[in-house]
Structure 1
Amino acid sequence: MSIATSPADAPVAGSVLPRIEQREQDGRSWTVASGRWTTLAMSSRSAWQALAKDLAGAPPTEDRAWDLRPIEQLDHIGAQLLWDHWRHDWPATLEMLPQHKAVLDQVARFTVGTPEEPPPTLAERLRHFSHTGPRALEVVRDFVGLIGQLALDVCTLGRAPHRAPWRDFSGHLYQFGATALHITALVGLLIGVVLAYLISQQLRQYGAEAFVVNILGLSLIRELGPVLAAVLIAGRSGSAITAQIGVMRVTEELDAMRVMGIPHGFRLVMPRVMALAIAMPLISLWTSMAALVGGMLAADAALDISPAYFLSALPRAVPIANLWLALAKSAVFGILIALIGCYFGMKVKPNTESLGRGTTSSVVTSITAVILVDALFAVLFKGVGFRA
């Protein structure tokens, strides 16, 4: 800090309110503080807002000079305000009275910057992990418990089939399967048409129109048919499962079942999982057939490939192993969708907000799980279903 000559005849402000003014003297910018920089003078809201506005208009640049001599009174609060505005460093040029310098020196001496928090130790990290653990581990724990309970319920079903809720099973099978045929067929038909037209534009350039049967057959039967059907069922039936069980949570029906000794897994989870495990392969086969029909019609219109040739070339282009693979992973998709829907339904809290949030999470998680499992099947069975 250097003491320089202040602007000549700097007037002392007559107002008791703290103020800051900007002046130019000898080609240099001066910031002149005046008034009473005390707690009492800054106690009113208007005075504080006016002072904050003045300070915002005087940024603490290195070449700016400050003149504090017009200040009538300066206490530790006012000095702390100035010291903080200077970012805990003295201006290059500063003019002030001795009593003001004593207050500022004391504030500067005892003001300590906020120390940086030390990084957490390994023991603290382990303690935090044990208390708050990531949500993913809790979900995995509960989901594995749900799968284990399902396995026990299936064993109970094998020992005592007469105790099984067959009426619930048949109702879910109709709801998840039969009522979804029209929407899956429509979407599959349109997907087949779109794919056939896109593929035909590329194959026509190389004179390989006949290979449209190979591409459509493999892509629709092996991948797109099961995945498309699973995504539709996840959005349609997965959300319905979560909503049904969630409403039972809101209306306290689950608590009533527990009081009466009716197991949730045996009466709620197992029938839905079994229904989707059976319905999902059939829906996947139905969707693939509809997509192939759409592709066949589009190939006839775009490439003049007759339906008779399409149907005769399809068995040679697509080995039967692709169909069994598609049916197997469709059953896995159905089990996953039902389990995820039941899991989020059981986790619904007794309020409508939690019900909506749980339904959304169920659909998103089901679709993500379907895509991940499909990628896993593609890696594990990459050599199955292709002719040498």
Structure 2
Amino acid sequence: MGTFVMPSLGADMAAGTLVEWLKQPGDAVEQGDIIAVVETDKGAIEVEVFEKGHIGELLVEAGNVVPVGTPLARIDGSEMAGEQSSIRPAQPEIKTAAPRVAPARQLVFPRGTGQGPRASPAARKHAAELGIDLATVKGSGPDGAIQLVDVERAERMRPEAVSDPGPDLSAMRRAIAAAMSRSKREIPHYYLTHRFDLSATLGWLDHYNAERPPPGRLLLGALQLKAVAVALKEFSEFNGFYSKEGFAASPDVHLGTAVAIRGGGLAAPCIRHADTLTLSELMESLRGLVTRTRRGQFRSSEIADATATVSSLGDRGVESLLPVIYPPQVSIVGFGSVMQQPWAVEEGPVVCPVITASLAGDHRANDGHRGALLLRRIEQLLSEPDKL
């Protein structure tokens, strides 16, 4: 027998709202099955189970705010899945209350009085606070149910919000502010930047894409992610988590990818085992991740498991960036735009496509000497894309 508990889906998460059960007592579950939907400051997150068995009992009713670590369901005949990473992010120290034992409701996105649209309790409460009519909100949840992220999107699209955007005080912005404030307060950052010629990489990429239809083509971002993932596997002091016990390197590379969400906000869900994926598999994972993230849809393993992060502002036209580490991670790699710049070669000065890679490291876990070697290794891997 095993227990399914409310997971930690971020360094600053203390509790989440259980908005929907996707499995019922008696249902069989396999590793990776989506068992529930939890709503946090990041939006609606699909929570996976890492045990094989069947649902014995649901211990918490949908609609409740539940502290991290609280048992949510009993899984009978459970077998722990071997694929699950042996390293997990440091969990916040939280005193959990005893779980509420209540029967599961069949309708977890209840209708309001007068048979109004289905909405999660958090979405209904936030809409009431803002004076938003739920009938005007398009839902992105199961069967069109309205979630908190849908109400926040409707708030940003109201005429008064468009004409006078003002400061973004959404829940996601507040969560980002809390995490980044903690990062700059607790983590002794150091920064390195490195410029290098990208001619060989782009030449190979053009040739690769010319032979394939659009769905099978690669973006430069996929090559960047693969190069970083392979380099992190070799430089383990940049891949893992720092807690009060010190640094713990991760045996796996689950690479977070910073994604800007339309209308405001930022998320960095991860691609698991990024170093083991082929370029085409990585590109497919990246497309799906970006699409779902911009809809405010996440999976728990994508939020909680990132061992390091990559941030790219190349499509925004900036030459370089100095990113902030997301705790409890200990590094983040940034890429700027590809710039046509003068470059010295043996034959003399030429104009080449040049990119600037940057690294923010946590001095408690790694140092600038190794960080410089990491950036040079990323350059080497990108210059030989046929070997990625």
TM-score by length of 2: 0.18
State which structure, 1 or 2, has the greater radius of gyration over its C-alpha atoms: 1
Q: If each structure's strand is expressed as a fraction of its own residues, which one has the higher value?
A: 2
